[in-house]
Amino acid sequence: MKKIISLVFISLIISSSGLHSSEEDVSTILITGSNRNIGLEFVKQFSQKGWRVIATTRSLDSADDLIEFSNKNRNVIVEQLDITNDAHLQNLKKKYQDDVVDILLNNAAYTPRYFSSFRGIEGVDIEATRKSFEVNSIGTMRVIQTFIENVERSKSGKIVNLSTKAASFDERPEIPMMYSYAMSKAALNSMIKTLSFETAESNIIVVALSPGIVNTTMGMGLMGAIDIDESVTKMMLVIENLSMDQNGLFLDYEDGRVIEW
């Protein structure tokens, strides 16, 4: 009897440690703004590739599609994260304090659906501008501050930040539009460049990535806009193939070519 009990005990230890090690082999990505459009498509594609996805959303009330997907895909965990909300950030920091995050994907943004973004300088909405900085530049920086230790634990950590050509001094459309959005994303780009000098020391690759002009609410109707799945499929390839010599660069979704800041 004693022999049987110890055999059962040993096999329990083996199976539980086996489970643990296979869990450790699964890579983890944390995505912000993942309830719709580009963020949601990233959740789907990373989940289908077998990643463990921490899919964060500003509000659980507007995340029906994400929650439905997560109910059918057990590798997707939905968490509430308004990237401007200190309590949300601290809550997740505590909850995931021992976790490894292999990719931190900063997708969330306050994007220009607002009418004033297409006005000239005199019509720029100051409140919308403040909000753009609060979310797009400062909010993204706070997410990085909160989770950088988790990324440092990864053997191949990456911090990928969705930016826009509208913020590039060299490649932006030469028309006066989207003041507040472009300004806030240019500030984001500056933060990314600065951060890259730190992350080089800890072997983390940090990049800005342009998704192209995408048929989301924002890209809808614009000439040359591509579908969300095409943009995300191509960005997935760029992200997968990132190497340390691309640290601190601004890359295009299409083929990872360098966009001038």
Ligand X SMILES: NC(=O)c1ccc[n+]([C@@H]2O[C@H](COP(=O)([O-])OP(=O)(O)OC[C@H]3O[C@@H](n4cnc5c(N)ncnc54)[C@H](OP(=O)(O)O)[C@@H]3O)[C@@H](O)[C@H]2O)c1
Q: Under the rule (CB under 6 A), what is the footprint of ligand X?
A: 32-33, 35-39, 58-59, 62, 81-84, 107-111, 135, 139, 162, 164, 211, 213-214, 216-219
Residue closer to ligand X, measured from CB, 65 or 156: 65
Q: How far is the CB of 119 from ligand X (least distance, A)?
A: 19
Looking up tokens 């300004």 gives 183
For residues 41 and 232, the answer to whether their CB atoms sit within 8 Å is yes
Residue closer to ligand X, measured from CB, 135 or 204: 135
| Exposed/middle/buried for residue 86 (C-beta within 10 Å: 0-12, 13-18, 19+) | exposed
Residue closer to ligand X, measured from CB, 39 or 256: 39
What is d(CA 31, CA 104) in angstroms, rounded to the nearest whole number?
6
Residue closer to ligand X, measured from CB, 81 or 148: 81
What is d(CA 258, CA 249) in angstroms, rounded to the nearest whole number?
7
What is d(CA 205, CA 199) in angstroms, rounded to the nearest whole number?
7
Q: How far is the CB of 208 from ligand X (least distance, A)?
A: 10
Q: How far is the CB of 226 from ligand X (least distance, A)?
A: 9
Identify the sign of the CA torsion 212, 196, 187, 44.
positive
Degrees (nearest 5) of the Cα angle 192, 58, 183? 35
Helices of type H across the chain: 2-25, 37-48, 64-72, 86-95, 126-132, 140-152, 179-199, 228-240
Residue closer to ligand X, measured from CB, 114 or 149: 114
Residue 252: strand, helix, or coil: strand
Which residue number is nearest to ligand X in terms of Cβ?
33
Q: How far is the CB of 38 from ligand X (least distance, A)?
A: 3
For residues 208 and 164, the answer to whether their CB atoms sit within 8 Å is no
Residue closer to ligand X, measured from CB, 222 or 244: 222
For residues 188 and 136, the answer to whether their CB atoms sit within 8 Å is yes
Residue closer to ligand X, measured from CB, 6 or 62: 62
Q: How far is the CB of 36 from ligand X (least distance, A)?
A: 5
Q: How far is the CB of 164 from ligand X (least distance, A)?
A: 4
Q: How far is the CB of 22 from ligand X (least distance, A)?
A: 31
